[in-house]
Structure 1
């Protein structure tokens, strides 16, 4: 009996240690200025660097300092290309972490304590959140779970503040959620045309006209020929031959349309603290998912500056 208990204890401890080194349990990693979901946990990045160095196919010699920088990003892109992970942009998301687990299964990594950064503030009043948060710069999200539980679509409304780059979900006229968002840029550079265009998000009062959980853009995306990307951007401005070309629209998960011209709210990993979209309103994935559930077609959306 004692031997059985001891064996079970060893198995449990082994499983616990493995879970701690499971890349899928790590925070997503990317450049901080490019996305809201960028905790840059030093221990996690150090283990990422160790795993990348251990890949014999890449022959890297990364400095394992736990700092996210250009060299680490380039190494991640090389890793993604090596294992055909698309898009190969250096963003360490679910797909990349899944492959990392397979590649580094025999690599001994230091056990770390997983700490999720960018926690939502719940249980505190909204006045405290506003008082203690730099709304223009912070990636923090406020949630009042009790209020959110009362949301039924009929008692909700949204407000997008362009000056603060924040979205607020109101339930019974009280703030139930306050999140960073990214609106349209006044001067947006188009790499294909080399022209700066005004893409600002129009202010005014709108209503949600359409909700699609898994939508892809019919305008913005990538063009491929024989599996190779040949163009990125507005498909209407592509001037090359369309023969043998395949179009893949950009993902607009949890899409909520506001205008007939294509302005809407949707999830994105690229949520910045300054305007930078083509007019749409980007939201962090977990925020877009919550908002999508709590609103309905006809919900009022105010865009102010």
Structure 2
């Protein structure tokens, strides 16, 4: 009879995955833990602070693309909100380094030059460089644009606005 009050807990202990799942739900991985993982930055995984993403004001957001590591980050002021893999320009079609702003957002962009759909296109230059969803190979293979996974691109597209600063930097040393 003394075990009766503990019966629900005992049942949970014997149901595979329930206690672990409950404990995991309480712990959200920090960005520092994500970048400390083996294989980062080569990973194809995206990290985001879901709570901050929901609450952040778009006016404080900016994007940094790291050409050397083929990663991008969305920041709210100086706090990392998202960290995602990218595919930038190859040697013959390099992605330009510098500071840009989002000039145009086109959810259903189509490139006449390349004959390709470029979903969630965010234009950075008048001559066609932008961020968009596309194949991400973790090495520079685009014609100058910054390609992102569909998941990362849609999330970014839905949060940033026209005028959002985007900095593209060559160094692969990233501020954690």
Shorter chain as denominator, the TM-score bin is: 0.7 to 0.9
Partner of 1:78: none
Alpha-carbon RMSD: 1.2
Query: In 2, Cα distance between the equivalents of 1:150 and 1:171?
Result: 10
Tell me if 1:185 matches 2:79: no
Mark the structure with the bigger radius of gyration. Answer: 1
Q: Does 1:281 align with 2:146?
A: yes
The CA deviation at 1:218 is: 2.3
- 2:105 equivalent among 187, 190, 211: 211
CA distance in 1, matches of 2:65, 2:49: 18
Kindly indicate whether the alpha-carbon contact (under 8 Å) linking 2:35 and 2:41 is maintained by their aligned counterparts in 1.
no
In 2 relative to 1, CA 133–261 (structure 1 residues): closer, same or farther, beyond 3 Å? farther
Q: Deviations over 1:128-153 (max 9, x none)?
A: 11111423421111111011112332
Structure having the higher strand fraction is: 2
Unaligned runs of at least 5 residues, structure 1: 1-121, 187-197, 222-249
Contact 2:48 2:83 (C-alpha < 8 Å) held by counterparts: yes
> How far, CA to CA, are the matches of 1:219 and 1:302 in structure 2?
25
Name the count of aligned residue pairs: 144
CA contact (8 A) 2:108 2:119 kept: yes
The equivalent residue for 1:150 is 55
Q: Partner of 1:154: helix, strand, or coil?
A: helix
Equivalent residue for 1:262, pick from 104, 128, 131: 128
Unaligned runs of 5+ in 2: 1-26, 171-176
Pair 1:162-2:27 in alignment: no
Identify the residue that residue 14 of structure 2 maps to in structure 1.
none
- For normalisation by structure 2, the TM-score amounts to 0.79
Query: Moved runs in structure 1, 4+ residues, more than 6 A?
Result: none
Q: Distance in 2 between matches of 1:159 and 1:144?
A: 16
- 2:95 maps to 201
Q: Which one of the candidate residues 154, 167, 175 is aligned to 2:80?
A: 175
Give yes or no for contact 1:183–1:282 (8 Å, CA) kept in 2. yes
